[in-house]
């Protein structure tokens, strides 16, 4: 390969190997900080920038030079496949911009880029390939710190199993429910058997409701031509959970001109049910639950930090807050690593798992925030609906 401009190749390769070694020596419980790593990678190779294509097509990019030239695989996606399947790094060019790309584990592609009149030689391509392997290994071992990776995949695997089981049990419960109903019609009204059958009937109905909620996991809704309006769904929820035994103040701060969201009414109802149920259950001795909705365009950092499969775009941000005891950092770290985790007796832990799954399937996101002083806020990002789909800044990804 011809070198058109001399570069300190040996120095770059040595620094790159040291960078890979530090990746592998880090602990799996310490978040890597991918943006900082990419900036360091670019400087290590003396490149104008570096980036990583994540699962689902999301791109992370850090530039040490001005501007952000177009990436060649945006027009030719096959280039990413070639880089992911190659044992060494590959060079792609677009005009005067050159990209050295290598696999970073099974589901990522790492690259560096430069506009200088030069080509990368064999030693540099090998060095980037090794750094990519180290990065893939490090991220595969991380259980926390990057919502889009190990914890996210674990949840999605659990969702797939839960949906299949829900379908099977739904068929079983339908048969049981039908025969209990027929039996109730044939027994004396005030008999002991009638009381037993009434209890069985209510139990089966609860089971049917549970399987229906499970079937919402990971489900991509077929949207109407106008999306789902949140205000009427929220209005139906207000006051429904208050009881004379527990004094809970509810406040609703939602603008009247809130746009429709790109979810089904059933999905929005399931999200609100779960969030409000959790907020009220946290207030054993009473307190306050507040619901605040706003239209926002989250920044890149906020998109990255959210659990789910968020893409840049316009969202309805919904905050459901309570004045309960809050959640410890240890419990919060386990929440999305252990599907169906719950700390309440006789609870199934489905609430936030269902919320996370619905949001992930529709390119939404979820955050848990401490309230100043007390309590917890669950913040969800619901993509705004527009004719033709989600109001994103780019092509909608991750849909099947």
The DSSP code sequence of 230-283 is HHHHHHHHTTTT-BTTB-EEEEEE--TTPPPBSS-HHHHHHHHHHHHHHHHHT-
Rounded Cα distance, 86 and 89, in Å: 7
Tell me: pLDDT of 255 over 50.
yes
Q: What is the pLDDT of residues 70-113, one digit of tens each?
A: 899 888 889 988 998 888 899 998 888 899 999 998 778 999 99
pLDDT of residue 127: 86
The candidate with the shortest Cα–Cα distance to 381, out of 373, 389, 390, 372, is 390
The whole-chain average pLDDT of the chain stands at: 77
Model pLDDT for residues 112-160, shown as the tens digit of each residue: 998 865 667 788 888 888 888 888 888 776 633 444 444 555 555 555 6
Angle between helices 265-281 and 230-237 (to 10 degrees): 40
| Residue ranges per structural domain of the chain | 9-141, 150-214, 230-390
- pLDDT per position as a tens digit, 342-377: 555 444 456 677 888 788 778 888 888 877 667 889
> What are residue 316's DSSP bridge partners?
295, 382
- CATH number at 230-390: 3.30.565.10
End-to-end C-alpha distance for the chain, whole angstroms = 42
Closest CA to 209 of 179, 170, 248: 170
> Maximum Cα–Cα distance for the chain, whole Å?
96
Predicted confidence (pLDDT) at residue 295 exceeds the cutoff of 90 = yes
The reported pLDDT for the residue numbered 10 is 62
Closest residue by Cα to residue 202 from 221, 180, 224 = 180
- Given a cut of 80, whether residue 193 has pLDDT beyond it is yes
pLDDT of residue 146: 40
CB atoms within 10 A of CB 349: 15
pLDDT exceeds cutoff 80 at 236: yes
Token pair listed for 90: 């590959």
Residue 66 pLDDT level (bands cut at 50, 70, 90)? confident
Q: State residue 296's pLDDT score.
A: 94
User: What three-state secondary structure class fits 269?
Assistant: helix
How many separate helices (H) and strands (E) can be counted in the chain?
11, 13
Looking at residue 141, its pLDDT comes to 67
**pLDDT per residue as tens digits for the range 152-186:** 555 555 556 666 676 777 778 888 888 998 999 89
pLDDT digits (tens, 9 = 90+) for 45-57: 888 999 998 876 7
Percent of the chain with pLDDT over 70: 72
What is the C-alpha to C-alpha distance for residues 310 and 77, in angstroms, rounded to an integer? 21
Burial class (CB in 10 A: 0-12, 13-18, 19+), 395: exposed
Nearest to 266 by CA among 274, 258, 257: 274
CATH code for residues 9-141: 3.30.450.40
């Amino acid at each position: 390969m011809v070198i058109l401009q001399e570069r300190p190749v040996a120095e770059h390769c040595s620094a790159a190997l040291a960078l890979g070694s530090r990746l592998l020596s880090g602990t799996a419980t310490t978040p890597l900080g991918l943006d900082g790593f990419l900036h360091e990678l670019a400087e290590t190779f003396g490149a104008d920038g570096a980036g990583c294509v994540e699962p689902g097509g999301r791109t992370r990019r850090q530039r040490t030079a001005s501007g952000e030239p177009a990436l060649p695989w945006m027009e030719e996606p096959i280039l990413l496949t070639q880089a992911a399947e190659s044992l060494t790094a590959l060079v792609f060019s677009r005009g005067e911009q050159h990209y050295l790309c290598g696999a970073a584990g099974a589901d990522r592609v790492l690259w560096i880029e430069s506009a200088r009149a030069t080509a990368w030689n064999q030693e540099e391509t090998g060095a980037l390939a090794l750094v990519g392997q180290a990065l893939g290994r490090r991220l595969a071992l991380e259980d926390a710190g990057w919502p889009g990776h190990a914890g996210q995949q674990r949840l999605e695997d659990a969702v797939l199993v839960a949906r299949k089981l829900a379908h099977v049990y739904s068929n079983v419960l339908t048969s049981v429910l039908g025969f209990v109903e027929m039996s109730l019609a044939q027994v004396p009204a005030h008999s002991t058997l009638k009381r037993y059958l009434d209890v069985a009937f209510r139990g089966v109905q609860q089971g049917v409701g549970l399987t229906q909620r499970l079937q919402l996991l990971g489900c991509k809704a077929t949207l109407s031509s106008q999306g789902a309006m949140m205000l009427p769904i929220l209005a139906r929820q207000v006051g429904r959970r208050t009881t004379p035994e527990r004094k809970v103040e509810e406040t609703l701060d939602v603008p009247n001109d809130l746009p429709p969201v790109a979810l089904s009414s059933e999905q929005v109802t399931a999200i609100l049910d779960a969030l409000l149920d959790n907020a009220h259950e946290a207030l054993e001795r009473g307190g306050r639950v507040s619901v605040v909705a706003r239209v926002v365009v989250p920044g890149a950092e906020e998109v990255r930090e959210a659990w789910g499969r968020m893409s840049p775009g316009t969202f309805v941000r919904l905050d459901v807050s309570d004045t309960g005891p809050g959640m410890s950092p240890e419990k919060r770290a386990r929440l999305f690593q252990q599907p169906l985790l719950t700390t309440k007796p006789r609870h199934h832990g489905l609430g936030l798992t269902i919320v996370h799954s619905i949001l992930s399937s529709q390119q939404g996101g979820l955050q848990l925030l401490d309230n100043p002083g007390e309590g917890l806020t669950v913040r969800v990002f619901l993509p705004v609906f527009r004719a033709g789909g989600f109001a994103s800044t780019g092509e909608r990804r991750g849909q099947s």
